[in-house]
């Protein structure tokens, strides 16, 4: 933990945690009494029923008791965990930049997701959570977790079978780009080069050429190995993807260590980073008391906001301020 963060943590996070911990203790005491009463009642009812050989009633009583226990626990503790999450993740966001806000239930909308032009499959199920928004330096930024799925129906012997295929799951970032432009340029992982021989994929790529605009061949061999670029305008694509930015994108992909998609549209840069990890999600209240867990949330957040520095978006030497 860096000195900066430690003092911030002690001043901002610790008191919130302490207050919530006290609340949790009180709730815990109340809970042990309620749980004991429920268990006692259930036990007695089940024992009586068993003595009368009314097994159905006995099992019913046990199940009802279990449901009451689980429901009660959920009611009492989920709200505390949630408050802790909002308070702590919100504080971490403010540590990164005082203007950065956190809303756990909101997410990048489906319309915004579509505007990126990155994923063309029809989206039948779309979910998300953990929206952060604000500015990092002079760059406006919004990001959240997103899960977009496509419905597939296949007719089998037992009727139609419906499954959901994931189009994208991970972190979706929208940042204000530092140059003006009009069209759309997308930078995709170069799948064709890696899965050469997959005829279907090739075919799909061919169709992509028609749907996404022209193929833009760039000079940087390292960049070309990692990505394939399509754009409405050859010159504009190069105006955006300067040699310096190409290097930065390659480095960012390496740092992320996962599949990364970029798109430049509507004066924004859209960045989609695939991941299965459920970020900013504490399972238990106690997890917040572990420094390591808090630090991991901070690292996730720093990674998301690092795009501004990594893509040099705060450099505003062009006509867009």
Residues that bind other proteins (CB under 8 A): 179-180, 216-219, 234-239, 242-244, 315, 317-319, 321
What does the alpha-carbon distance between residue 182 and residue 133 come to, in Å, rounded to a whole number? 24
Cβ of residue 313: shortest distance to other proteins, in angstroms?
13
Is 7 or 315 the residue whose CB approaches other proteins more closely? 315
What does the alpha-carbon distance between residue 286 and residue 196 come to, in Å, rounded to a whole number? 48
Is 82 or 238 the residue whose CB approaches other proteins more closely? 238
Characterize the bridge pairing of strands 101-103 and 125-136. antiparallel
Cβ of residue 321: shortest distance to other proteins, in angstroms?
8
Is 204 or 315 the residue whose CB approaches other proteins more closely? 315
Cβ of residue 221: shortest distance to other proteins, in angstroms?
13
Both structure tokens of 121: 């499959």
Q: What kind and span of H or E run contains 226?
A: helix 221-226
Q: What kind and span of H or E run contains 82?
A: helix 79-96
Is 103 or 233 the residue whose CB approaches other proteins more closely? 233
Q: What contacts 236, CB < 8 A, 6 or more positions away?
A: 181, 182, 183, 185
Cβ of residue 191: shortest distance to other proteins, in angstroms?
22
Cβ of residue 223: shortest distance to other proteins, in angstroms?
13
- DSSP 8-state code for residue 12: I
Q: What kind and span of H or E run contains 121?
A: none
Is 24 or 179 the residue whose CB approaches other proteins more closely? 179
């Amino acid at each position: 933990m860096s000195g900066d963060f430690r003092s911030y943590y002690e001043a901002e996070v610790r008191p919130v945690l302490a207050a919530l911990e006290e609340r949790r203790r009180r709730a815990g005491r109340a809970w042990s009494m309620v749980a004991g009463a429920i268990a006692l009642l259930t036990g007695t009812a089940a024992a009586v029923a068993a003595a009368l050989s009314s097994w159905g009633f006995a099992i019913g009583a046990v199940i009802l008791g279990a449901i009451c226990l689980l429901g009660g626990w959920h009611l009492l503790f989920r709200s505390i965990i949630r408050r802790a999450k909002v308070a702590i993740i919100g504080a971490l966001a403010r540590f990164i930049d005082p203007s950065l806000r956190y809303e756990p239930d909101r997410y990048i909308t489906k319309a915004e997701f579509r505007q990126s032009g990155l994923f063309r499959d029809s989206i039948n199920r779309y979910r998300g959570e953990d929206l952060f928004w604000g500015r990092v330096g002079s760059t406006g930024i919004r990001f959240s977790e997103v899960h977009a799925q496509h419905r597939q129906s296949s007719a089998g012997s037992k009727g139609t079978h419906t499954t959901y295929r994931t189009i994208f799951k991970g972190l979706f970032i929208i940042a204000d780009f530092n140059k003006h432009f009009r069209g759309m340029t997308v930078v995709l992982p170069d799948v064709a080069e890696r899965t050469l021989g997959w005829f279907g994929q090739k075919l799909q790529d061919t169709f992509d050429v028609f749907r996404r605009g022209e193929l833009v061949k760039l000079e940087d061999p390292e960049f070309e190995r990692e990505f394939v670029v399509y754009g409405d305008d050859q010159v504009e694509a190069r105006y955006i993807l300067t040699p310096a930015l190409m290097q930065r994108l390659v480095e960012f992909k390496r740092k992320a260590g996962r599949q990364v998609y970029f798109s430049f549209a509507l004066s924004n840069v859209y960045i989609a980073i695939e991941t299965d990890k459920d970020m900013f999600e504490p399972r238990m209240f106690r997890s917040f008391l572990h420094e390591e867990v808090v630090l991991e949330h901070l690292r996730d957040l720093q990674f998301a906001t690092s795009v501004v520095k990594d893509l040099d978006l705060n450099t505003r030497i062009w006509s867009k301020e």
